[in-house]
Structures are given as structure tokens and as C-alpha cells.
Structure 1
Amino acid sequence: MRALAAEVSKLASLPAVWIAAAAGVLVPGVIAAITASSALGAITRGAGTTAGIDTGYQELAFGVVGAIILGVVAMSSEYFTDSAESGGGRQITTSLTAVPSRLRLLLAKTAAVAIASALLAVAASAVTMSVIRVVLGEHAPALGTGDVPRLAGVVCYWVYTALLAFGVTVLTRHGIVPLAVFVVNTSVVTVTYLLTKITPLANYLPDMAGVRMFIRELDDGTAGIGPLAGCLVMTGWVAALLVIAVVAFTRRDA
């Protein structure tokens, strides 16, 4: 527990983590305000009566960029080289001195990332859905018990995405490559989404499977993956990557 508490405290001390938190809350909130305003305009013109079933949820899919930054920085910060005045060392040396067991250290960091990304997802979901209701008013989709598993799916998706980014950073020991790859793939038209137009197997890539936990209308021409199947597929990807990351981290030099 002390190792976990130390990693949580370490995360909270990183400026980049607060940038990630701001991005995670503001990105989906701002996009939600824009799309809700557009939907309200269409409703006012008589082009519809309510917003789409995925209103708010689609915006939260883009907001996962905050979780990505969090997952990357949690590990890449360990490999930053201090200034010459500070000795020119790296945080990973201090971390391994405090927690000699590499497995325990990595498990503590994994748990800290999962907890932080879950809290960020909850905050982002609350803000985004509130924005939708403020802008659309009575035209906003009603939230009911059926939305509970969808919102849980959002949290799960954010946590899993943060862990994927974390695992890749463990392997690369550098944040630029995983950050660039993951952020680009959360743009309006993702690389993995384009791949689904080429082969249906792309639907089993982690992000495409994961969004099915909360997105109901996907224009990918398939209907074989439901929310539970999507969760299981993404769980498999995350578990496999973390196992590889653990093996690599425990066997190679720091």
C-alpha cells in the first residue's frame, strides 16, 4: 500500500498530469457544447426532435486523450534526466531504490494509473453530460438506468486506454512515440476505424472493440461485437500488453 500511495503522490506532483486532467475534462466538454448547439439548431429548424442516442458518449470517446497523456507521463517521467545541478540522474533510479522489487513497483504504478484515469473519466462524464443537458434542455436524451452500464463502459474504456498507453511507454521508455500514436488515433477519423473498411478483423483492435461498451451507432458495417464482447476483447489486449511490459521491465536494465 505504501508503494501505491507513493505512486499516487508522485502522479499528483507531475504538472503534465494536471494538463492531462484539464484536457480530459475540457476536450469532451467543449466538443459536447459545440455538437449540442448544432443539434439544437437542427431541432429548432424542425430537422429533428431530439439529439442522437450517442450524444455525449461520442465526445467522451475523443476526451480519452486526457487518459492517454496520464498513462504515458506516469512512466515516461521515470526516465527524464535531471539537470546537471541535480546530479544528472533519473527518477527510475530513486524509485527502484525505494521499492527494490520491480514487479511491485510496476504493479503500484499500474494501480495508480488505473485509479487516476477512472477518477478522470468520472469527472469528464459528469461535466460532458451536464453540458449536454444545459445546452439542449428538454431536447437532451433522457438519462436512465440503461445509461449506467454505458457510463461504466466509458470509465472502463478510459482506464484501459490509459493502461495501454502506460504499457507501451514501459516498453519504449520514452513518451513521444506512444503519445503521438495514441493521440493521432483518437482524432475524428482514427486509423483503426479506417482499417475496418479494409478488413473486419480491425474491429477486434483494442480501441474499436472498446468503444462498443458505450457507443451504440457505429458505421462500420458490422454488428457482431456487443458491449460485453467489446469489453472482453479490450481486456485481453490490455492484459497481454501488461504481461509483456512486466516481463520486459523486470528483465532488462533500468
Structure 2
Amino acid sequence: MSVSSSRKTTRILSAELDKLITMPLIWRTFVATFIINLVLTAAFTSASLQGAADTKSVLNIGLASMIYLQAGFIILGILATCSEYTGGQVQTTLTTIPWRGLQLISKHLALAVFTFPAALVITASGVLYTVLMMQDTVAGIGINTMIQTVVGAAGYLTVTTLLSAAVGALLRRTTPALVVLLGYYFIVSPLMSDFLPRVHNYFPDAAGAYMYMETFSNEVKVLTPMQGTGIAVGWTLIFMAIAIVFYRKRDA
């Protein structure tokens, strides 16, 4: 029974990963996000070359586009779960895979498998570009510091993508999900940081930022990287659990 269950899970995960990597919109989103991030990083780096910069500020410049970069990964997560509802493909999926909870969990796992390497490539390219362009103005950056920063940033983008996918599964429509999530990340969250800074630190985007900003930010640290990771992952798991409950109870 355990072998059969394990094989079933593996096959479902493989099927979800196959669906994900064969979606043209997913790859277009990834490529567009990669290009836009390099353009923004080049602009931030060019503007910063007017003065000297230390190691911490170089990492800060290399990840200055994160606030915009996360939009691409929000879109990626929403597309992963909402795309099947657009053309009614979800009916075929549920006919083939009737175990709804397992299917949605596998979709999120497949998304994580795809997203983390993609986020790693995008964040690393931005940081490396800045380091190469500013190598004459700063001392060498420790490889451990660079790796820790890039991995933390990629982890944050992955968690953001999974949370967005869960919200997409709840709303089932691309446009409402985009409005809700982009509205939160770019309007509500910045307002909360001004009016309720202490509370804001425990929301997914603010807490998740501690996954990578610890290595270079001069701001007072409210959370450690592990605490920030735990809170961001916790929010994601909550939304995933809610999405699974609704997914199992309502019609496709």
C-alpha cells in the first residue's frame, strides 16, 4: 500500500511539473522577469557608480529591484493555478486525478521545484552584474555572504510564488487574484509599514524580506532570517490549507 501510494504521489507530482514546464505563459513570464530585472539592476548600478560604495551597499544595489521583481513571481504563481480554469482544463485534470487535495499539494510542490532555480538564476544575475560593474570601487565580497544573500532572496521569491498560487487557487480567476495580490504588495503593505510598522513586520512580505536583507541592511533587525522564513512560510501554509479546503468542497 505504501509503495502504491508513493508511486501515485510521484506520478501526480511528475504530471503537475510536466504541465507547468510546458506552459508557454510560464516561460514568457520567466524570460520577461529576467530581462526586466537586468534592465532595472543596470539602471540602479549606473546611478550608484557616481559615488563610492561598500560591500553592503553593493549587495543592496544588486537586489534593489526585488520590490519590482516579486511582481513577476506573483504573476507566475497565479498563472500556475488559474490557467486551468481559463479554458476549462481543470475538468480534465480532476477526471484524471480525482484526489483533489493531493493534486493541489503536488501542484504547489512542482511550482516550488520550478521556481527556486528560476529565482536563483534571476537574483544571482542581478547581484553578479552589480559586483562586476562596481568591482573597482569596492573590496571583494565574501563568497559566503553573496551565496547567503542570493539563496535567501530566491527563497523569498519562491515563498511569494507559492502564496500567490494558493490565492489563485482560492479565487480561480487571474484578474481578481492579480488585483488582490498586487494591491496588497504595492499599496496596502507600504501603507501598513508607515502606519503600523510593528504589526507589518509579521506579514508575509515584510517577514520574508528578512530572509535576505540580514546580510547587508543597516536597519534595526526586528526578526532573524530564520524567524522571517518561518513567518513567511507559515502564511503560505495557511493559505494553502484554506485553498485545499475550498478546492475539495466546491465544484470545479
The offset of 1:184, in angstroms, is 4.7
Report the equivalent of 1:173: 172
Q: Any residues of structure 2 matched to 1:78-93 within 5 Å, and which?
A: 78-81=84-87, 90-93=88-91
Change (3 A) 1:226 1:193: farther
The offset of 1:71, in angstroms, is 0.7
AA partner of residue 177 (structure 2):
P
The offset of 1:245, in angstroms, is 0.8
The offset of 1:109, in angstroms, is 0.6
CA distance in 1 between counterparts of 2:124 and 2:66 reads 10
CA distance in 2 between counterparts of 1:42 and 1:51 reads 14
Q: Helix, strand or coil: the match of 1:253?
A: coil
Contact 1:165 / 1:182 at 8 angstroms: preserved in 2?
yes
Report the equivalent of 1:85: none
Change (3 A) 1:218 1:232: farther
AA partner of residue 163 (structure 1):
L
How many residues end up aligned between the 2 structures?
238
Q: Any residues of structure 2 matched to 1:31-110 within 5 Å, and which?
A: 31-43=40-52, 52=57, 53-81=59-87, 90-110=88-108
Deviations 1:113-153 (A, max 9, x none): 11111121111022112221332233356142123332221
- Percent identity for Structure 1 against Structure 2: 27
Structure 2: 5+ residue stretches without partners: 1-9
Report the equivalent of 1:191: 188
Q: Higher helix share goes to which structure?
A: 2
CA distance in 1 between counterparts of 2:15 and 2:29 reads 20
CA RMSD in angstroms, aligned pairs only: 2.1
Report the equivalent of 1:27: 36
Deviations 1:12-51 (A, max 9, x none): 22221012201331232211111111111233xxxx5667
CA distance in 1 between counterparts of 2:11 and 2:191 reads 44
Structure 1 runs (4+) deviating above 3 angstroms are 48-51, 183-187
TM-score of the pair, normalised by structure 2:
0.86
CA distance in 1 between counterparts of 2:218 and 2:207 reads 11
CA distance in 1 between counterparts of 2:117 and 2:55 reads 30
Contact 1:207 / 1:234 at 8 angstroms: preserved in 2?
yes
CA distance in 2 between counterparts of 1:180 and 1:252 reads 23
Contact 1:79 / 1:174 at 8 angstroms: preserved in 2?
yes
Report the equivalent of 2:15: 6
Contact 1:17 / 1:69 at 8 angstroms: preserved in 2?
no
Deviations 1:192-231 (A, max 9, x none): 1321211120111100110111124376xx5322212111
Change (3 A) 1:207 1:30: same
AA partner of residue 39 (structure 1):
S
AA partner of residue 161 (structure 1):
T
Q: Helix, strand or coil: the match of 2:221?
A: coil
Contact 1:37 / 1:136 at 8 angstroms: preserved in 2?
no
The offset of 1:176, in angstroms, is 0.9
Change (3 A) 1:101 1:133: same
Report the equivalent of 1:119: 117
Q: Helix, strand or coil: the match of 1:138?
A: coil
Change (3 A) 1:186 1:138: farther
Report the equivalent of 2:25: 16
